[in-house]
Amino acid sequence: PVVLGIETSCDETGVGIVRGRTLLANAVASSMDEHVIFGGVVPEVAARAHVEAIVPTLRAALDEAGLTLDELDAIAVTSGPGLAGALMVGVGAAKGLAAATGLPLYGVNHLVGHVAADLIGREGDGEEAVALLVSGGHTSLIHVRDLVDDVEMLGETIDDAAGEAFDKVARILGLPYPGGPEIDRAAADGDRDAIRFPRGLTAPKDQARHRYDFSFSGLKTAVARHVEALEDAGVEVPVADVAASFREAVADVLTRKAVDACTERGVGILVLGGGVAANARVRELAAERAAAAGIELRVPPLRLCTDNGAMIAQLGVLLVEHGREPSPFDFGADSTLPMTRPQAVGVTES
């Protein structure tokens, strides 16, 4: 089947088209530039930007694929989780398009979509895997037995998301937003062992309750204290060393917990997703540790790791192939849609 996917959960307006496992189009417009002066994504600004970008992005995707609407078999749209106002724009657009074309419409889970991105360009329905999804909005460790109906959330951040930590620490170091790429660049010339920053939720006492959860706010505070102490002492802050040591702490915790989850659950594949999957040290440590544990590491191309419509289209293709019913027309944007629901349900069913 050929499915068009619409994604508007955060600051990317994405429209992708997938036939089977083949990527036909992946058009993305980002409102990132409009959030720079605020140092983070502003929900109202993101929602308004989606309204402006949705039709041009839809056109761009159809052009790129060389398709007309009547050549599609279904539409999929992110129902949640995400920013409520932003999600509503995509869901509204998708409903309008479905009503106008008579195409079946599937409301789908954004996080499951991130995992489905790994199927694009491959064969099959995806093997059992652990997925580490790390971006400005999420930090989730997921056990996927079957993308269509057996997905389990293992752990999440209990405070800041991983990407958010990069953005906040960049600000402390006087680097611009978004901070992830800036810190990555600065860290390249630094010593990762210069400062031993805390590894959140890895102490033995955290083992029972927070085995697979993450915490980055203590780390951020530790960096802030370290920088303040140097400034108070009139010492120049070694930005490269602080960046490298901070990046090491994040990469260490993320990859350690992800590989442990694979080993402890007997899963042979680890999938990375989200903007932080672009991080050079996260990739390097994940590759090292996965190889040492005999686990296959899969990192989709970056354009498919960050928010995009193609991953939503791919999840839609799977739902169609598995004979799932389209979502009832009264399904809505659900900013807290749980992971256990790859597909959104209607108001009357939930």
Q: Which residues are annotated as a binding site for substrate?
A: 133-137, 167, 180, 184, 279
**Residue 276 binds which of Fe ion, Mg ion, ligand ATP, none (CB < 5-8 A, kind-dependent):** ligand ATP
Residue 167 lies near Fe ion (rule: CB under 5 A): no
Closest to ligand ATP by CB, 167 or 248: 167
Residue 160 lies near Fe ion (rule: CB under 5 A): no
Q: For residues 174-203, which are near Fe ion according to CB under 5 A?
A: none
**Residue 181 binds which of Mg ion, Fe ion, ligand ATP, none (CB < 5-8 A, kind-dependent):** ligand ATP
Please pick, from the candidates 23, 307, 310, 312, the single residue that binds ligand ATP as defined by CB under 6 A: 307
H, E, C per residue of the chain: CEEEEEECCCCEEEEEEEECCEEEEEEEEECHHHHHHHCCCCHHHHHHHHHHHHHHHHHHHHHHHCCCHHHCCEEEEEEECCCHHHHHHHHHHHHHHHHHHCCCEEEEEHHHHHHHHHHCCCCCCCCCEEEEEECCCCEEEEEEEECCCEEEEEEEECCCCHHHHHHHHHHHCCCCCCHHHHHHHHHCCCCCCCCCCCCCCCCHHHCCCCCCCECCHHHHHHHHHHHHHHHHCCCCCCHHHHHHHHHHHHHHHHHHHHHHHHHHHCCCEEEEECHHHHCHHHHHHHHHHHHHCCCEEECCCHHHHCCCHHHHHHHHHHHHHCCCCCCCCCCCCCCCCCCCCCECCCCCCC
Annotated binding site for Fe cation: 110, 114, 307
Residue 137 lies near ligand ATP (rule: CB under 6 A): yes
Please pick, from the candidates 126, 136, 155, 332, the single residue that binds ligand ATP as defined by CB under 6 A: 136
Which part of the chain contacts ligand ATP (CB under 6 A), choosing from 67-75, 123-131, 236-244, 269-277? 269-277
Residue 11 lies near Mg ion (rule: CB under 5 A): yes
Q: For residues 161-180, which are near ligand ATP according to CB under 6 A?
A: 163, 166-167, 178-180
Please pick, from the candidates 160, 248, 307, 334, the single residue that binds Fe ion as defined by CB under 5 A: 307
Which part of the chain contacts Mg ion (CB under 5 A), choosing from 11-19, 45-53, 103-111, 233-241? 11-19
Cβ pair 332, 77 in contact under 8 A = no
- Fill in the per-residue mask, 80 to 119: x = in contact with ligand ATP (CB under 6 A), - = not in contact: --x-------------------------------------
Q: By CB under 6 A, name the binding residues for ligand ATP.
A: 9-11, 82, 135-138, 163, 166-167, 178-181, 184, 274-276, 278-279, 306-307
Q: By CB under 5 A, name the binding residues for Fe ion.
A: 135, 307
Q: By CB under 5 A, name the binding residues for Mg ion.
A: 11-12
